[in-house]
Amino acid sequence: MPKKIAVVVLFVMIPAALAMAGETASKDYGKQPWVVNIEDLTLKNENFRTAKWTGRYLQMTVMSIEPGGEIGLEKHDKGDQFIRIEKGNARVVMGKSKDKLTFDKKVSDDWAIFIPAGFWHNIINEGDKPLKVYVIYAPPEHRAGTLHKTFQEAQAAHGR
């Protein structure tokens, strides 16, 4: 009987701990082979960020950014990043300094964005519908199974 109670407690406590940390678990297919229609997966995603595949050296997330919303100004010192716009209109800003974003481009459906390690960057939705993107981080940036339903939830999880 005590073994069953321990298992039940684990199944209740782990999701609760993740939720309190601002990161609810989603199905992450990482560390195993996986094939997916990435366009369909990206377009159907309703969450701000959902980690769908987290391996040792690479991670893929899908994102939905509300009109007028943004990914948020950030920089990743230890890895490069790739973002593809599946649907929507956005503005991409980047620079080596947080206060001097010298790269500024408008992008839309089917555009790819390459962000070198150490560059400050932000993607701003300039359209009137959710911006649908997928992001590849190398190395992974978020915990496997990360799910942020909103921008505010993502900011809270990262202490911003």
Indicate if the pLDDT at residue 6 is higher than 80. no
Residue with tokens 């932000």: 122
Phi-psi region at 38: left, alpha or beta (left = phi > 0; alpha = psi -120 to 50): alpha
For residue range 113-122, list pLDDT tens digits in order.
999 999 999 9
Each domain of the chain, given as residue ranges in start order, spans: 2-157
DSSP secondary structure code for residue 74 in this structure: B
For residue range 41-57, list pLDDT tens digits in order.
999 999 999 999 999 99
- For residue 76, give both structure tokens: 């990743």
pLDDT: which is higher, 90 or 14: 90
End-to-end CA distance of the chain: 44
| CB neighbours of residue 29 within 10 Å | 17
For residue range 65-122, list pLDDT tens digits in order.
999 999 999 999 999 999 999 999 999 999 999 999 999 999 999 999 999 999 999 9
pLDDT: which is higher, 25 or 24: 25
Q: Select from 1.10.10.10, 3.30.2320.50, 2.60.40.2700, 2.60.120.10 the CATH code of 2-157.
A: 2.60.120.10
The pLDDT of residue 156: 87
DSSP secondary structure code for residue 15 in this structure: H
d(CA 139, CA 119): 15
Starting at the edge strand found earlier in the chain, the sheet holding 146-148 runs: 24-25, 146-148, 49-54, 59-65, 131-138, 80-87, 112-115
Whole-prediction pTM value? 0.82
The pLDDT of residue 155: 86
Mean pLDDT in the chain?
88
Residue with tokens 């300094």: 97
The pLDDT of residue 14: 44
In which band, very low, low, confident or very high, does the pLDDT at 20 lie, cut at 50, 70 and 90?
very low
- Asked whether 26 and 49 are in contact (CB, 8 A), the reply is no
The pLDDT of residue 16: 41
d(CA 61, CA 38): 10
